[in-house]
């Protein structure tokens, strides 16, 4: 019998991760020679009453539009990851749930994104509220990304804040018009790197039940981060967010890929449910999964059991009685080929429902 024993808890974790817009905190093990003692120990907060229209805020002495890459390296040391794309360079720093991204262009810092609570936005020494933002900075602009939480943008002050607040990130940047900001970053929630980081895992030949950890490293390179590595439970959680989606790969105790997930899936070129059906054919079954806050169902998934594929989207209605062609796929899970009985046994929750595929609702 093919095993998917860890699919339930990790799938639910993946769903929650998608719903949070990749803004949560995790036990992160950096994958570089970065000496974390080089990271600044004093992290002065940004007081919004000090912000000046037309002038970029300062993040621990680093000012977008003024500071250079070398200034970041002097304070933070070598980054965990460096990404390049279309003239931009992104320096990634990860440290026990703290994530800081410095976006560089032509050697000058353009923007800084952080979820570090030690550097959180304040007003008169206390964490800000929505009322503080409106009273001090005035009316904000709103960006609703493809997934994740709404972003409140104050373009003339060079500030963008996730509507979810702590511990979600905020961003400071070179002040610009809202139209310019929206054109650059409007599709992405804060804390989600807009660069294409990895090749498509669907084209490099990773196969659950067959591909080894060493082979994954050969195909994709070393992971940015390893999350939740326990010597008593030796499976690994890899995450590498990019425009094709965050990639999670799980290994069993023998170092073989148990399953993998892309979530959220294809931010820049959304995949629709209709696209999935056209590509993979009619699913074996629909799976309906309850929500986290009393919702009867929050997630609808197409199950391709023989293929070992699960394609998920959010429900249009609380009871998932509508399957729309243009619903955006938010998650794809790859696992070993299995039967419906085996799959259902791995989902003992009686609140998870399985129904026959009835086609799309026009």
- Which residue stretches of the chain are H helix? 7-19, 69-76, 130-137, 178-185, 213-220, 273-280, 340-346
**Nearest to 260, CA basis, from 299, 218, 203, 308:** 308
Find all residues with CB under 8 Å of 130, minimum gap 6, and list them: none
Q: How many CA atoms are closer than 13 Å to the CA of 76, on its beta-carbon side?
A: 25
Q: How many CA atoms are closer than 13 Å to the CA of 329, on its beta-carbon side?
A: 26
Task: Give residue limits of the domains in the chain.
Answer: 7-22+196-355, 28-185
- Please give the model's pTM, rounded to 2 decimal places: 0.62
Question: From first to last of its 362 residues, what are the pLDDT tens digits of the chain?
Answer: 444 444 444 444 444 333 333 333 333 333 332 232 333 334 467 889 999 999 999 999 999 999 999 999 999 999 887 877 778 888 988 776 677 889 999 999 999 998 876 778 888 888 888 888 899 999 999 988 766 678 899 999 999 998 766 556 899 999 999 999 988 877 767 776 655 544 555 667 888 999 998 888 788 776 666 655 555 444 454 554 444 456 778 888 788 888 888 776 665 667 899 999 999 999 999 999 988 766 789 899 999 999 999 999 988 888 888 899 999 888 889 999 999 999 988 778 888 999 999 899 86
3-state helix, strand, coil in the chain (%, to 5): 20, 30, 50
């Amino acid at each position: 019998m093919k095993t998917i024993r860890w699919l339930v808890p990790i799938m639910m974790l993946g769903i929650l991760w998608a719903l949070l817009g990749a803004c949560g905190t995790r036990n992160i093990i950096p994958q570089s020679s970065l000496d974390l003692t080089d990271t600044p120990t004093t992290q002065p907060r940004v007081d919004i009453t000090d912000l000046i229209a037309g002038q970029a805020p300062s993040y621990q002495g680093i000012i977008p539009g003024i500071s250079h890459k070398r200034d970041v390296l002097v304070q933070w040391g070598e980054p965990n990851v460096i990404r390049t794309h279309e003239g931009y360079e992104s320096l990634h720093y990860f440290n026990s749930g703290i994530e800081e991204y410095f976006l560089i262009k032509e050697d000058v810092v353009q923007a800084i994104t952080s979820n570090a609570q030690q550097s959180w936005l304040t007003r008169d020494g206390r964490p800000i509220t929505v009322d503080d933002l409106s009273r001090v900075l005035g009316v904000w602009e709103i960006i609703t990304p493809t997934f994740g939480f709404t972003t409140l943008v104050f373009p003339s002050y060079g500030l963008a804040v996730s509507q979810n607040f702590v511990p979600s990130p905020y961003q400071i940047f070179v002040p610009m018009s809202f139209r310019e900001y929206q054109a650059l970053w409007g599709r992405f929630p804060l804390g989600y790197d807009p660069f294409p980081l990895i090749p498509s895992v669907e084209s490099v030949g990773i196969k659950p039940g067959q591909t080894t950890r060493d082979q994954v490293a050969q195909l994709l390179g070393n992971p940015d981060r390893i999350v939740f590595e326990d010597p008593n439970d030796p499976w690994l959680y890899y995450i590498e967010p990019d425009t094709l989606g965050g990639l999670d790969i799980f290994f069993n105790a023998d170092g073989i890929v148990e399953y993998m997930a892309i979530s959220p899936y294809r931010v820049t070129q959304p995949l629709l449910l209709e696209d999935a059906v056209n590509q993979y054919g009619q699913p074996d079954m629909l799976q309906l999964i309850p929500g986290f806050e009393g919702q009867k169902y929050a997630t609808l998934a197409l199950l391709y059991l023989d293929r070992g594929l699960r394609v998920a989207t959010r429900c249009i209605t609380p009871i998932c009685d509508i399957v729309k062609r243009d619903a955006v796929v938010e998650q794809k899970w790859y696992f070993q080929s299995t039967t419906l009985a085996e799959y259902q046994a791995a989902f003992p929750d009686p609140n998870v429902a399985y129904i026959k595929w009835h086609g799309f609702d026009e």
